A and B are shown apart, each in its own frame.
Chain A
Amino acid sequence: MKSKLYFLSTVLAIFLINLVKDSIDPYYYTILIYIGINIILASSLNLINGFTGQFSLGHAGFMAIGGYLSISMSTYFAPFFANLFGAGVFGENMTFLTVMILGGLAAAAIGLLVGVPSLRLKGDYLAIVTLGFSEIIRVLIQGMDFIGASQGFRGVYQYSNGVKSLQMLDNTQDSFIFYGVPKYTNFFWTFFIAAFIVYFIYNLINSTYGKGFLAVKDDEVAAESMGINTTKFKVIAFVSGAFFAGVAGALYGHFNLYLNPEDFNFLKSVEIVAIVILGGMGSIPGVIIAAVILTILPELLRGISEYRMIVYALLLIIMMLTRPQGIFGTKFKFKRKKKVESA
C-alpha cells in the first residue's frame, strides 16, 4: 500500500515538472531524457541479470525492435492515428502510448521466441546466444529498406497517389506530405515509465510470487524442489525485461527522431550491462544511481574527450575492485548494515 502512495506522488511530481520542461536548457533536458531511458533499460535488464541471475547481453536488440516498430508505425500510419485519436495533444499522446505498447509487445513476443529455447543455457552460453540474437536483429534491420536499412530511418514521404518512399521522388508530379518521426517523447512519459518500472520491479520482488525469481538465481535445484517452475520464471523475467526494453526503444526513437541500426550494436548492450553491474546486480536504487552517473559521466568528461573512454573504463575497473557488489550491494545487506549502525 505504501509503495502505491510513493508511486502516485512520484507520478504527480513528474507531471508537475513536465509543466515547466520548456524552461529547462535543451542540453540538460536531453541529458535528463537519456537518464530516464537508461533507468528503464538498466532496471529491466536488472530483472533478468540481477534478480533472476540469467546473464543476457541482448538488450540492445529488444530496444531496436521496440524502437523501430514504434517509429515506423507513428510515421507510416500517421494519418490513421490522426483519424483515430484526433490531432490535438490528447491524440498525440494516445498515439504515442499505443505505438509504445505495440513496440514493447513486439519486443516481448520476440523475447518469448528467443527465451524459450535459449534459457536452457546458463551463464556464458546464454550471454553468447543473446548477444548473437541482438546482432541478428541489427543486421536484419540493416537489410530492411522500408525502415531505411543502414541509412537509418527519419520519416517517410507519402504521395497523393499512395506511393510511400523514404527518399523524395523527382519523377512524380503528385503532391506529397513528409511524415517525420514525431517528437512525442517528453519528460512526463520518460520518467512516468521509469517510475512505473521501478514500482513494478519493487512490488514484484517483494511479493511471495516474486521471491521465486530470487530463488531461481540462488539455487535452481532447490527452487524446482520447492515447486517453482524455474523455466517459467526465467521466461517471465526475460519477456517482461524485453517489453520494457522495447518501450525504452520507442522513447529513444521518438526523442532522437532518427534511428540507425548502429545505435543498437554490441556496445549498447554492454553499456546497459555496465550500468547494472556498477549499480549492483539486484539492487533497485543502486541501478538508478548508476544510470544517472553513467549518463552524466561521459558529458562531464567532454573536456578531455580523447581520454574519455579511459576514465570511463578506469572507473569500472576501480568499482569492480573496491565494490564488486555494486554501489549499494543488494537491498538485503543494505538493510542489515543500517540496523548495525543504529544499535
Chain B
Amino acid sequence: MSLLKINNVTMKFGGLTSIDALNAEVNDNELVGLIGPNGAGKTTVFNVITSVYKPTLGEVLFQDKSLKNYKTNQIAHLGICRTFQNIRLFKSLSVKDNVRVSFGVRLKAGFFSSVMQLNKFSKEEKEIDNRIDELLELFNLHDVKDEEAISLPYGDQRKVEIVRALATDPKLLLLDEPAAGMNPSEKSDLMKLIRDVKDKFRISILLIEHDMKVVMGICERIYVLEYGKKIAEGLPSEIQNNEKVIEAYLGDTKTHA
C-alpha cells in the first residue's frame, strides 16, 4: 500500500521550475532514495511534502489524505518528520532537550498542568524521560545527553537530528543527506543504523543522499531527479546502469569525447 503519493507536483518560484510534474510514491515500511545532481530539487521535494512550500500544481497524498490544507506543524502530527541538510538543532538546548521538544506532538499535559505540576504531568514527564533515554541509547548518544547539542561533532549532530525526528513517532521519515560530513566508518555505521531504525520502528524512509555507496547499499528503490524532472526510477542495480543517470552525473559522453 502506498503511504505517500506525490501526484504530478510542480513547484515554480517565479520563472524557475524547481520541480516539474513529479510523480513518486513511498510504500509502507520501504526505504526509498532520492538522488540527483546539485540543484535538482531534492530538498524542495521535502519542503513540499512538509508544507513549507505549497505546490504550484498537483498534490501530495499521505495515507490517501491530501496535505493541501495542512500547515508544517500539523504535518508532524500526521506522522511525517524530517531532518535538515544544514543542521538545524536547537542551539540553547542539551541533546536530551532537543529530543524532548519532539515529544510535544503527543503530549497530553498542556500549559496549566505543566505549570502547576499536577500528578499526571509528573508521570508523563517520567515516561518521556525513559523514552528519550531509550532512543539515545539506540544511537549511542547516551553519554552526551547533557551536552549542548551544537557542541557535538558533526556526525553526532546529524544523529541527534535523526533521533529528534524519530521522537515525533513518524510513519514516514525524511532524511536530508544524513551522511554528509561523516567519515567512511561513520557512514557505514549510519547505513546500518538507518536500516535498523526502519525495521525496528516499522516506518518508511525517504532518503536524499549524495554518497552513492550509502544510497546503493540501503535503498530498496531509487528516484533520480535532474532539473526538477524525474529521469529514472527503479532498483539500485537498474539505476547504476541507466544511461540517463550516468549522463546526468558525468555529463554527455559523446560531446566531450
Contact surface of A with B, Cβ cutoff 8 Å: 1, 3-4, 200, 203-204, 207-212, 214-215, 217-219, 221-230, 236, 282, 330, 332-333, 336
Contact = CB atoms under 8 A, between A and B. Distances in A.
Nearest to A210: B114
Interface in B64-99: 71-77, 81-82, 84, 88-94, 97
A215 B122 CA distance: 21
B225 to A, nearest CB: 21
A208 B125 contact: yes
A332 B148 contact: yes
B104 A208 contact: yes
Given A208-B128, A209-B107, A203 B114 contact: yes
Contact of B94 (A212, A217, A226, A332): A332
23 contacts: A4-B117, A200-B115, A207-B115, A208-B103, A208-B125, A209-B107, A210-B114, A212-B104, A214-B92, A217-B92, A218-B90, A219-B88, A219-B89, A223-B90, A225-B50, A225-B82, A226-B76, A226-B102, A226-B168, A227-B76, A227-B168, A230-B73, A282-B92
Contacts of B121: 207
A282 B93 CA distance: 12
Interface residues of B, number: 43
Q: Chain A's interface: helix, strand, loop or mixed, by majority? A: helix
A230 B101 CA distance: 12
Interface string B39-75: 0000000000010100000000000000000011111
B114 A215 contact: no
Contacts of A282: 92
B102 A227 contact: yes
A201 to B, nearest CB: 9
Nearest to A53: B92
**Residue of B50, B93, B115, B121 ringed by the most chain A CB atoms within 10 A:** B115
Contacts of B81: 225-227
A15 to B, nearest CB: 20
B88 to A, nearest CB: 4
Contact of B73 (A3, A207, A228): A228
Contact of B104 (A211, A225, A236, A332): A211
Nearest to A204: B115
B110 A225 contact: no
Query: Lowest 8 A-B CB distances belong to which pairs?
Result: A227-B76, A207-B114, A227-B105, A218-B90, A222-B88, A209-B114, A224-B72, A215-B101
Given A208-B128, A222-B84, A226-B76, A203 B115 contact: yes
B5 interface: no
A208 B168 CA distance: 13
Contacts of B124: 208
A330 B71 CA distance: 32
Contacts of B165: 226
B101 A212 contact: yes
**Residue of A203, A211, A229 ringed by the most chain B CB atoms within 10 A:** A211
A208 B93 CA distance: 12
Nearest to B149: A218
Interface string B131-175: 000000000000000001000000000000000110010000000
A209 B76 contact: no
A210 B113 CA distance: 11
A211 B107 CA distance: 12
Nearest to A331: B92
Nearest to B80: A225
Nearest to A330: B92
Given A203-B115, A225-B84, 8 more contacts: A204-B115, A207-B121, A208-B103, A211-B93, A218-B93, A222-B89, A222-B90, A332-B92
B197 interface: no
Given A207-B109, A215-B93, A218-B90, A226 B114 contact: no
Contacts of B109: 207-209
B13 interface: no
A226 B101 contact: yes
B92 A225 contact: no
A116 to B, nearest CB: 16
Nearest to A229: B73
**Residue of B107, B122, B128 ringed by the most chain A CB atoms within 10 A:** B107
A207 B93 CA distance: 13
A224 B73 contact: yes
A168 to B, nearest CB: 47
B112 to A, nearest CB: 10
A214 B93 contact: yes
B97 A214 contact: yes
B88 A221 contact: yes
Contacts of A212: 101, 104
A36 B89 CA distance: 37
A225 to B, nearest CB: 6
Nearest to A333: B148
Contacts of B115: 200, 203-204, 207
Contacts of A1: 117, 122
Nearest to A335: B146
A214 B90 contact: yes
Contact of B72 (A3, A207, A225, A236): A225
